[in-house]
Amino acid sequence: MKAESRRQFLTHTMGGPAAAGLASASSALLAQIPGERPARSAGLAVLNPRGRVPVSLIIDDSTCLVNLNRFAMPQFDQAYGGGNPAYKKAWRDWPVEIPDRFVRKFGEWCADRGVKGKYSIVPYPACVGRLDRLLPGWSQSELDASLELVRTVMMPHWDIHPEMVTHTRVINLKSGHPYPETTLKFMENWDWTTGKSTDEISDYMRYALRILKNVGLHCDGITTPGSFGTRARPELAQATLQSVREVFGAEIPHYFRDLFDRGEASVAPRVEYAAGLEGADPRCVVSIIGCTGDWTGGWDNSTPGGVDRFITEDLRQGRMVEVIGRGEPGIMVCHWTGIYWNGQELGFQIFQEVVRRLQARYDHLIWMKLSEIARYWAAKELTGLDRQADAIVFRAPFACPDFTVRLAMPVRTGLRLRCKEQVAVLKEVTHPLKLTPGTWCREGDKSIACFALPQGASRLEFAES
């Protein structure tokens, strides 16, 4: 049996070509209860932020110092009883560490180009040690410095997620040790969540989240390792909502579980379990969907799929071209171990070229963290819009920067945003690509406005006099 990627596992476990991780999948396989949705007047549409297409990078299997694949490989081999040739790679030849100098190199390169995304920090990586206690093989000062690097270099531009607790063996929450069983049933990547309740999964997530909170890393979401939650999707979504709100007070929790790397299935975020939109405690959880496979080198240092899978040299084809052309978020997926690729940095080199080609082809992309995408999509779907004679009235359960709406009508003189006693006049710009918060532009017989949407009630008034 070959090694299973996130997408391939879904194919294997959910029955071939109808599997949820494939583009041919029925969207019903991923759909959770959407919850409440507000009424909206005709002729109003919420666009992408600033009328641009969001792009982002999801980095899985990252943590402090530990080269996760080296320590995970023998544990996966044991879980398969030594019978899976995929886990017979020469892991002893792989480095123990992904050094902080590479984290800094990668983080600073991305910051210089505005690249944003999600960066996992596995809290108890492959059972080597807990980041809030001891990491055997490294001094305390080395661990402290690594955590500080994540706080200062990565956190400003990247969401931090736990990828459950160990990314390998399931931890007994009462003892803090791995369960003695080493079968697939007791591995986070495989079947542990099957049959588990929302509360059981939520307890497990809280354990992971609290380790990261103990070391000063804020989390608005979680990432599932391997097939975690595949057969417990409603419970996974609700457990994310519960645990991330409880541990970090996150207003809009989100999670990464699924991807479509081909075809026409939508990769737009899914806003789930929305409730209390008119009250003091609105809530929802957002499922973030990746749009690519891991073509930068894989978790196990496999041969990279290459730049052309993302966008070809002539800038005309590739998965990112397809998704961006649809106006949906282009959220790429990779593994940190493949970005580093045993010090050869093959994945990093591929990603650098992807960014260069995207910049050469497009002038309307906006790099966003997953939490920023989740917030925008929650506001996009859950804000009430009501057309009145002299204004558009918004009822927003969540505030949102860069909120952008199209009005199916021309604006003669101008627009102003009113929230309670505060009034801000929007400035007219000449083109949609010039939109920033507090501006508007004409688009034929329509108008587009961009502004910082406040929570609660507000009005976009027609300033005709």
pLDDT given at position 32: 80
* In the predicted structure, residue 23 carries a pLDDT above the cut 70: no
**Considering only CA atoms, which of 128, 155, 1 is closest in space to residue 65?**
128
* In the predicted structure, residue 207 carries a pLDDT above the cut 80: yes
Q: What is the pLDDT of residues 362-420, one digit of tens each?
A: 999 999 999 999 999 999 999 999 999 889 999 999 999 999 999 998 888 899 999 98
Question: What is the rounded average pLDDT of the residues 191-204?
Answer: 97
Q: pLDDT category, 464, cuts 50, 70, 90?
A: low
* CA distance readout (Å), 424 to 43, 237, 286, 409, 433: 23, 38, 31, 21, 21
pLDDT given at position 30: 59
CA distance 421 to 426: 16
Q: Is residue 412 within 8 Å of residue 464, measured between CB atoms?
A: yes
- Angle of helix 319-326 relative to helix 346-361, nearest 10 degrees? 40
* In the predicted structure, residue 15 carries a pLDDT above the cut 70: no
Domains, the chain, ranges and CATH? 7-13+31-37+53-375 (3.20.20), 384-462 (no CATH)
Question: How is residue 81 written in tokens?
Answer: 């009883």
Which run of H or of E encompasses 284?
strand 283-290
Which run of H or of E encompasses 233?
helix 233-248
pLDDT given at position 412: 84
Residue 362, judged by CB atoms within 10 A of its CB (0-12, 13-18, 19+), counts as: middle
338, amino acid identity: G
* In the predicted structure, residue 65 carries a pLDDT above the cut 80: yes
Q: Work out the percent of the chain whose per-residue pLDDT is above 70.
A: 93
**Does the pTM exceed 0.85?**
yes
Q: Is residue 211 within 8 Å of residue 163, measured between CB atoms?
A: no
CA distance 331 to 63: 20
The residues, any chain, with a CB within 8 Å of residue 200's CB and separated by 6 or more, are none
Q: What is the pLDDT of residues 127-164, one digit of tens each?
A: 999 999 999 999 999 999 999 999 999 999 999 999 99
Q: What is the pLDDT of residues 215-273, one digit of tens each?
A: 999 999 999 999 999 999 999 999 999 999 999 999 999 999 999 999 999 999 999 99
Q: What is the pLDDT of residues 80-100, one digit of tens each?
A: 999 999 999 999 999 999 999
Phi and psi at residue 442, to the nearest 5°: -90, 145
Out of 20-34, 44-58, 281-295, 408-422, least confident range: 20-34
Question: What is the rounded average pLDDT of the residues 426-446?
Answer: 96
**Considering only CA atoms, which of 386, 305, 315 is closest in space to residue 341?**
305
The residues, any chain, with a CB within 8 Å of residue 284's CB and separated by 6 or more, are 35, 241, 252, 271, 272, 273, 274, 275, 378, 382
The sheet that has 44-46: what strands, in order across it? 44-46, 400-407, 446-453, 439-443, 427-428
Q: What is the pLDDT of residues 233-243, one digit of tens each?
A: 999 999 999 99
Question: How is residue 456 written in tokens?
Answer: 């609660």
CA distance 44 to 46: 7
Residue 360, judged by CB atoms within 10 A of its CB (0-12, 13-18, 19+), counts as: exposed
CA distance 240 to 382: 19
Q: Which residue has the tokens 């041919």?
A: 24
* In the predicted structure, residue 21 carries a pLDDT above the cut 60: no
